[in-house]
Structure 1
Amino acid sequence: MVAQSLTAPSFASPAAAVAAFGAMQGQDLPGVLASAALRSTGEAVAAVFDDLAERRLVRGYPMRGTVFLMAAEDLSWVTALCAAPSLRAAAARRHQLGLDEEQLGRARGIAEEVLADGPLSRPELFEIWDAAGLAPKGGRGYHLLFTLIADGVAAYGPWNGSEQDVVLVEQWLPGIPGLAERFGGERLPAVAEFLLRYLTSHGPATLRDFAWWTKLTLGEIRRALPLIVDRLETDGADEPSYWRPGLLDEAQAQARASSAPLLLPGFDEYILGYQDRLFAMSATHHSRLVPGNNGVFRRTVLIGGRVRGTWARAGRPGRRSLEIEEFEPITDAARKRLAARFAAFPFAGD
């Protein structure tokens, strides 16, 4: 919790928090905006909207075929480093959607032309593709857009009041460094940089955690470790964990703060940033957090770093209330603290 800046917001801005993490899983858009706010401003989601509008934050598909919130300056090099496996997997499924390379090329050309004039919402882009005969319904539009984003052509940029508009990377983020500009085209120092950010923001964590998180190979990760290991502390176990220097002292100093009740969004890195989530919950509670193991993570109630239940936002705009499903009994005092957290939570909309 201390490493992830959950005991006390420690970053100057949401963009700084996301950059320190390397990326934050972002398929639940309001949730990831809250995750960034909770680690920086603590309450003000408006600061995240500002970072999106000012081109400091974007969402892309850098790894695992999953959308992540990222610092804009990291989008291109991280995507080039990690996205190839998900692009290959997408290409293998393309025929199932009745798509081919010619259609993908047309979709790219149209997107580059219309987005050169500025951001468009996803429905607006899909309407343009539909008028061009690309029939984006039935998952085809999503596949085309995923491919353009994972290829580094497009990204999700400014908040439009309900979601992020689609942007052309070269127009919205001119000059952001790619793998060649940032690391001379060398993969190993890029892996080392990404690994260092992960371990300093998520540690104690293992190399296997990072391999699961990125889908980079363990061999490449192990070759990169010597480039940054002197900037970390470790437990020296057979499969060692690593963390940022001084973290254990910080955790001891913040022991009381780390026991406080917290409300986290559904796909927060505290839950999804590790190969094994059972440090924070029992296997039984995990099955309740992800009903049917369907990949949809509910919002979590944390007390002392452990998942004690899930929560929801009930009622109508202007009359919202906190609903808690307890996995374990929660005291009245903790409920009062959680109510205060709910009142201050950085929601992205009504």
Structure 2
Amino acid sequence: MDTDRVLTQRLATQRLSSAPVATAADAVRLLGCVQSQERDHAFWSLGMRSRRRTYTGVQREFDRGAFVRTHILRPTWHFVVPADLRWILELTSPRVLAGMGGRHRQLGLDDPKVLSAGLDLLAKALQGKQFHTRRELGQYFADHGSPITAGEQLGHLIMVAELRALVCSGPMHGVHHTYALVDEVITRTPPLERDAALVELVRRFFTGHGPASVRDFTRWSSLTVADTKHALAFLGDSLEQVEVDGIPHWYDPHAVPRRSSAAPAAYLLPTYDEVTLTYPQVPFPSDHPEHRASDPFWATVVAGTRSIGRWKREVGPTSVTVTIDLAPGTSDADARAADGAAGRLADFLERDLEVVRSDDAGGGR
């Protein structure tokens, strides 16, 4: 399979160029887990793939618990649907937690008694569906004389609690994230044996992200190459295997949606979007000399199967300013398509749009 076909198929598989799924939660379920340390950008990821065409609509789903935000797969934020939270954590968290020992020591949380007392106090603060922000939890710990202080210590403790399936996100308080006890907001589901969970996660990944490689999966999941190959062998012919530049890739041939005639010509992909982040081996080729700029808030502009530039946004009370920095030589048609993508973002945010070109902002085009 050639690179262009791979990239085209991924856009359809991830519901960017094919018919959208009904809800934001359906998009999360399709992808298994959606990286979301930049929550508002991640909401846009879900809006691009679903019929939830506004930020408000996606947030409503989130606030009622249709999907949650937590540390899962890796020591970073992801969205996950409630039914998938416990079994994915049980499968993947042991390796993640084992790799955090050095950070425990740096923060003075390597004493099991201190860590256990901190987790108990965190549970006490949240019991009875008392949804607290991290700042409120910091004050609660201080009021109760805990040696765990607000800042990095508390943040690390909360991450451990998430990876252990003790806490996850609650509804937003204004623009702020809150925490909830998993057992109070997520119905228990039957546990999966490890092999069954491994096979299910591998199947879900390649169904929602394929064509993808073993390396793509291990980066995404934190699991081992040996585990991945074991699950692929079990799945057998249910996944199609193709060679891409000499590297085996897999996808579910029964789950590749047809490209929509209404598919956009260009996309402003959010920061940390799954369609750019997940694939270290066959990424979108870039025409832009600064596409790896160090500023993490620049994200990727894609037209067809190429990255043609980068974009950034500034959201105000009634308007959003989108700065677009396109590669030299970008066609007028692709530039107009990028403007159209900015318009879709403004509609999602329910704001008026102002587009700033990189040459107007002192950029490189």
Interval of TM-score (by shorter of Structure 1 and Structure 2):
0.7 to 0.9
User: Alpha carbons of 1:73 and 1:105: their partners in 2 closer, same or farther (altered >3 Å)?
Assistant: same
Which of 208, 213, 220 aligns to 1:206? It is 213
- Residue aligning to 1:265: 270
Q: Deviations over 1:322-342 (max 9, x none)?
A: 211123435253354234223
1:333 is the counterpart of 2:326: no
- Residue aligning to 2:176: 163
Name the SS of the counterpart of 2:171 in structure 1: strand
User: Alpha carbons of 1:230 and 1:95: their partners in 2 closer, same or farther (altered >3 Å)?
Assistant: same
Q: Deviations over 1:147-173 (max 9, x none)?
A: 111111111122222132101111111
- Structure 2 distance, partners of 1:285, 1:277, is 19
211-220 or 326-335: bigger deviation = 326-335
Q: Residues 129-144 of structure 1 correspond to what in structure 2 (within 5 A)?
A: 129-131=141-143, 132-144=145-157
- Structure 2 distance, partners of 1:259, 1:319, is 23
Counterpart amino acid of residue 200 in structure 2: E
Name the SS of the counterpart of 2:258 in structure 1: helix
Q: Provide the TM-score with structure 1 as the length reference.
A: 0.87
CA contact (8 A) 1:61 1:79 kept: no
1:321 is the counterpart of 2:321: yes
User: Alpha carbons of 1:211 and 1:158: their partners in 2 closer, same or farther (altered >3 Å)?
Assistant: same
User: Alpha carbons of 1:54 and 1:138: their partners in 2 closer, same or farther (altered >3 Å)?
Assistant: closer
Identity %: 27
CA contact (8 A) 1:56 1:73 kept: no
- Residue aligning to 1:67: 77
Counterpart amino acid of residue 46 in structure 2: A
CA contact (8 A) 2:301 2:308 kept: yes
1:96 is the counterpart of 2:106: yes
- Residue aligning to 1:279: 284
1:37 is the counterpart of 2:40: no
- Residue aligning to 1:109: 120
CA contact (8 A) 1:188 1:223 kept: no
- Structure 2 distance, partners of 1:3, 1:322, is 27
CA contact (8 A) 2:92 2:221 kept: yes
- Structure 2 distance, partners of 1:22, 1:311, is 27
- Residue aligning to 1:220: 227
Q: CA deviation at 1:17?
A: 1.1
- Residue aligning to 2:247: 239
User: Alpha carbons of 1:346 and 1:2: their partners in 2 closer, same or farther (altered >3 Å)?
Assistant: farther
- Residue aligning to 1:307: 307
User: Alpha carbons of 1:95 and 1:82: their partners in 2 closer, same or farther (altered >3 Å)?
Assistant: same
- Structure 1 distance, partners of 2:139, 2:54, is 34
Q: Residues 123-202 of structure 1 correspond to what in structure 2 (within 5 A)?
A: 123-131=135-143, 132-175=145-188, 177=189, 181-183=190-192, 186-202=193-209
Counterpart amino acid of residue 334 in structure 1: A
User: Alpha carbons of 1:335 and 1:239: their partners in 2 closer, same or farther (altered >3 Å)?
Assistant: closer
User: Alpha carbons of 1:108 and 1:347: their partners in 2 closer, same or farther (altered >3 Å)?
Assistant: farther
User: Alpha carbons of 1:345 and 1:169: their partners in 2 closer, same or farther (altered >3 Å)?
Assistant: same
Q: CA deviation at 1:283?
A: 8.7
Name the SS of the counterpart of 1:310 in structure 2: strand
User: Alpha carbons of 1:306 and 1:207: their partners in 2 closer, same or farther (altered >3 Å)?
Assistant: same
Greater share of helix: 1
User: Alpha carbons of 1:218 and 1:347: their partners in 2 closer, same or farther (altered >3 Å)?
Assistant: farther
User: Alpha carbons of 1:248 and 1:124: their partners in 2 closer, same or farther (altered >3 Å)?
Assistant: closer
Counterpart amino acid of residue 202 in structure 1: H
Q: Deviations over 1:19-76 (max 9, x none)?
A: 1111001111111111112111252223322222222211122222121110111111
Q: CA deviation at 1:282?
A: 5.8
Runs of 5+ consecutive residues of structure 2 not aligned to the other structure: 1-10, 354-365
RMSD between aligned residues: 2.5
User: Alpha carbons of 1:2 and 1:60: their partners in 2 closer, same or farther (altered >3 Å)?
Assistant: same
- Structure 2 distance, partners of 1:13, 1:26, is 17
Counterpart amino acid of residue 260 in structure 1: A
Q: CA deviation at 1:95?
A: 1.9
Which of 7, 16, 29 aligns to 1:6? It is 16
- Residue aligning to 2:30: 20
Counterpart amino acid of residue 3 in structure 1: T
- Structure 2 distance, partners of 1:56, 1:18, is 10
- Structure 2 distance, partners of 1:27, 1:316, is 21
- Structure 1 distance, partners of 2:174, 2:77, is 19
CA contact (8 A) 2:315 2:321 kept: yes
Counterpart amino acid of residue 115 in structure 1: L
- Structure 2 distance, partners of 1:146, 1:201, is 26
User: Alpha carbons of 1:143 and 1:347: their partners in 2 closer, same or farther (altered >3 Å)?
Assistant: farther
Q: CA deviation at 1:226?
A: 3.0
233-242 or 145-154: bigger deviation = 233-242
